[in-house]
Amino acid sequence: MSLIDANALVNLVDARQPMSVEFRRTFNILRRPLITTWPAFTEATYLLFRIGGWQMQRKLWDFIIKGLIKFHLPDQHEELRIICIMERYRDRPADLADASLVAAAETLGDSQILTQDHDFYIYRYKDNEDFEVLPIRV
C-alpha cells in the first residue's frame, strides 16, 4: 500500500503535466489501491478544475470509482496529530493536505508516497524516519 499526494493525482489525470509519464509508470507498478486523504483529494480536484473543469475532475473520480485509489479517514487521535505536524513544520509551511498524508502514513504504517512535493524529503515519518518518495528520480 502506498500513499498518493495531490500533485501525483493531477499527473495521473492530466497527460500534459511534465511528469505525467513517470507518475503513470510508477502508479502502474504499485500495489493497489493507493491511499489518499480528503484534503489531498480536495487540492487535486481544485487544481484539475483550473486545468480542465469538470471533465478533469471526473477523470480523477474514476480512480475512486474503480477502486484504484481509496480514502483514508482520520480518527480523533489522528486529527490531533495533524495539528502537531502542521505546527512542527510551520516554517515550510506544512499545509493540511501534506500533514494529513504524514499522519495517515503513521497510522497505516507505510512511508511510501507518490509525490513530486520535495517537502516529503524533509517531513519525518513517525518523527524521525524518512519517507520513501516515488517516483524515484533516475
Identify the three-state secondary structure at position 84. Answer: helix
Identify the three-state secondary structure at position 68. Answer: coil
pLDDT, tens digit, for every residue of 94-111?
A: 999 999 999 999 999 999
pLDDT, tens digit, for every residue of 15-36?
A: 999 999 999 999 999 999 999 9
Structural fold of domain 31-134: Rossmann fold (3.40.50)
CA nearest 26: which of 115, 126, 104? Answer: 115
- Reply yes or no on whether the pLDDT at 38 is more than 90: yes
Residue 127's pLDDT is 84
Query: Domain segments of the chain: what residues?
Result: 31-134
Answer for the pair 9, 118: CB distance below 8 angstroms, yes or no: no
Residues 6+ apart with CB under 8 A from 83: 99
Q: How confident is the model at residue 67 (pLDDT cuts 50, 70, 90)?
A: very high
- Reply yes or no on whether the pLDDT at 138 is more than 60: no
Contacts 24+ apart (CB under 8 A), 47-50: 47/6, 47/7, 47/10, 48/9, 48/10, 48/13, 48/14
Does the N-terminal peptide bond of residue 135 adopt cis geometry, omega within 30 degrees of 0?
Answer: yes
Pairwise CA distance, residues 74 & 71, whole Å: 10
Mean local confidence (pLDDT), 33-50: 98
